[in-house]
Amino acid sequence: MSSREISDAKSGIMARKSYGFRDPVVKNVVDKFVSRSDVGFEKYGSTLDDERRLKMKGLTKYLNDIQEELMDAVLYIQAAREELQDLSEESLIDKFRYDEEEV
């Protein structure tokens, strides 16, 4: 039995609705949400709904989690920008070397 099926059983869910996607981008995002939910359930043994209903986490903790995730996102953006800069510089160096070899 998968973690999704275990979670469903705990929550009284007997069947899941299936969706057809006209946009593969939307399907990919939904698939990632489901996968992330499964990882979270495996790690913590509860769902976000469990946390909320059972008062395992309050509003202040949710706000702290949001803030920390957004701070991480800004760091990831900066790291990606720096990586792009490095790749651009490397590409220019490679082009310069290639041009020099052709002369």
Query: What is the percent of the chain where pLDDT is above 90?
Result: 67
Q: What is the pLDDT of residue 18?
A: 83
d(CA 75, CA 61): 21
**Is residue 93 scored above 80 in pLDDT?**
yes
Residue range 5-21, pLDDT digits in tens: 777 777 777 777 788 99
Q: In sequence order, what are the residues at sequence separation of 6 or more whose Cβ sits closer than 8 angstroms to the Cβ of residue 11?
A: 47, 49
**Is residue 42 scored above 90 in pLDDT?**
yes
Q: What is the pLDDT of residue 81?
A: 97
**Is residue 3 scored above 90 in pLDDT?**
no
Q: Reduced to 3 states, what is the DSSP secondary structure of residue 21?
A: coil
Name the token pair of 83.
């990586």
Q: What is the pLDDT of residue 103?
A: 67
Residue 95 pLDDT level (bands cut at 50, 70, 90): confident
**Is residue 70 scored above 70 in pLDDT?**
yes
Name the token pair of 99.
């041009």
